[in-house]
């Protein structure tokens, strides 16, 4: 399997870069403030100090050198069975933030591919949404029944080893309850319940941002942002997709949905009276005004794009394009693509407000989320003006914002995560 996207070498080549060395001992404290690493050897060797007190943790942590990424780490803990990855793509605009995906990957290379693509997307998402954060992501390789408190605590120690350069949050397979366990080992956790000062479940914010982005996309194509009478196909009815379906139905849209969780989709259909597709393929090939992918990524590819019967695509799933060329394929077919990391930015915007002076404010968070259509229209305008695929236009905007941030800092330095 090859890594798709700009600058990604083959996954197998990356795994050859893993340093096969004996178990290292990682010294850490609960609230680290400084870090030094051995970059040339490729093996992470860290020491954190607090009033002369050190806590010793045995974890096999190995650094993987990946061009374009500040740090990519693999952690394995034989005692708990943890196998995890953290990718820090960029801290130029602020500490890297992104969710932890808990998923069963048949091959480690697939897990690495996923964490790299997701971390890069988080950098661009945070940049375009101007959150003041960088981009990172974590992956825990686990089946649902393997998500034990012991493994989550081990993941917390893994996160803590980066000293705040990466802030963990929810993602697929990870809940607020899981983060509360991770928090027992590290302070670098975001999206915690509001009653303890966090921003809470990011799903409502993500869904709201997605709703606004869908409206902006419809207006671009049809001249009106109204849902009334529009036929919209939604793939995935989970925490975000299910909320989006409710927004659409409340606005008068005719919704066709599909989810691999049959019970969940049936509950939504019974509650809202929506139509259900018999399969993912049926939904993807349905005639509609707009397709909204809200499940896993890589759904827009060589096989699916020629079969699409929609005028636009705007959804909450990450990494919807399997490769950059698929943005051009959509453009050639006359299908307007709303770049996923702009559409689904509501969650990271919500989390970013945790770092505002005075702490988290839901009012401020949703005021910022209301700006997502503005960011999307800037990208649509650039794409139209330059004749670019919208995905390429979005990348240009994000790269420009990151480069502006880099010019304002000392050479090679990211922002202090504290």
137 is catalytic: yes
Work out the number of other CB atoms within 10 angstroms of the CB of residue 279.
10
User: What's the N-to-C CA distance of the chain in angstroms?
Assistant: 38
Cα–Cα distance for residue pair 88/98, rounded to 1 Å:
9
Tokens of 290: 């707009």
Over its C-alpha atoms, the chain yields an Rg (Å, rounded) of: 21
Cα–Cα distance for residue pair 112/74, rounded to 1 Å:
9
Q: Pick from 244, 243, 220, 219: which is nearest to 232 by CA?
A: 244
Please pick, among 71, 137, 208, 311, the residue that the annotation labels catalytic: 137
Strands (E) located in 277-375: 290-293, 312-313, 336-337
Strands (E) located in 104-208: 134-141, 166-169
Tokens of 344: 């689904």
Distances (CA, A) of 64 to 34, 88, 193, 346: 21, 11, 34, 31
Q: Is 197 left (phi over 0), alpha (psi -120 to 50) or beta?
A: left
Residues in CB range of 72: below 8 A, 6 or more apart: 63, 64, 65, 66, 85, 86, 87, 88, 112, 115, 116
Active site residues: 137
């Amino acid at each position: 399997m090859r890594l798709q996207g700009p600058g990604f070498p083959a996954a197998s080549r990356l795994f050859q870069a893993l340093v096969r060395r004996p178990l290292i001992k990682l010294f850490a404290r609960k609230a680290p403030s400084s870090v030094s690493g051995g970059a040339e050897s490729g093996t992470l060797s860290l020491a954190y100090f607090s009033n002369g007190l050190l806590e010793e943790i045995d974890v096999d942590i190995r650094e993987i050198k990946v061009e374009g990424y500040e740090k990519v780490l693999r952690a394995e803990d034989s005692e708990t069975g943890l196998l995890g990855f953290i990718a820090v793509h960029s801290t130029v605009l602020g500490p890297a933030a992104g969710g932890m995906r808990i998923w069963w990957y048949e091959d480690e290379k697939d897990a690495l591919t996923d964490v790299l693509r997701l971390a890069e997307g988080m950098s661009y998402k945070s940049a375009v949404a101007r959150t003041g954060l960088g981009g990172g992501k974590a992956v825990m390789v686990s089946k649902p029944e393997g998500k034990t408190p012991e493994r989550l605590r081990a993941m917390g120690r893994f996160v803590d080893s980066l000293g705040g350069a990466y802030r963990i949050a929810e993602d697929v397979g990870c809940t607020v309850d899981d983060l509360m366990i991770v928090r027992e080992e590290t302070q670098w956790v975001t999206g915690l319940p509001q009653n303890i000062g966090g921003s809470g479940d990011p799903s409502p914010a993500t869904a709201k941002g997605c709703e606004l982005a869908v409206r902006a996309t419809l207006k671009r194509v049809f001249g009106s942002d109204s849902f009334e009478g529009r036929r919209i196909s939604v793939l995935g009815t989970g925490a975000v997709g299910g909320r989006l379906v409710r927004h659409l139905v409340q606005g008068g849209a005719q919704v066709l949905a599909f989810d691999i969780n049959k019970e969940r989709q049936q509950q939504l259909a019974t509650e809202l009276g929506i139509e259900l597709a018999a399969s993912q393929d049926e939904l993807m090939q349905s005639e509609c005004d707009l397709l909204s992918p809200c499940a896993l990524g890589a759904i827009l590819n060589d096989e699916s794009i020629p079969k699409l019967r929609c005028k636009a695509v705007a959804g909450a799933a990450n990494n919807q394009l399997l490769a950059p060329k698929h943005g051009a394929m959509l453009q050639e077919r006359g299908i307007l693509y709303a770049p996923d990391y702009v559409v689904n930015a509501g969650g990271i915007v919500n989390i970013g407000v945790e770092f505002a002076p005075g702490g988290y404010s839901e009012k401020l968070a949703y005021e910022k989320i209301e700006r997502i259509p503005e960011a999307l229209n800037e990208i649509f305008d650039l794409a139209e003006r330059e004749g670019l695929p919208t995905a390429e236009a979005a990348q240009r905007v994000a790269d420009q914002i990151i480069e502006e941030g880099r010019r304002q800092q000392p050479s090679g330095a990211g922002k202090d995560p504290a």
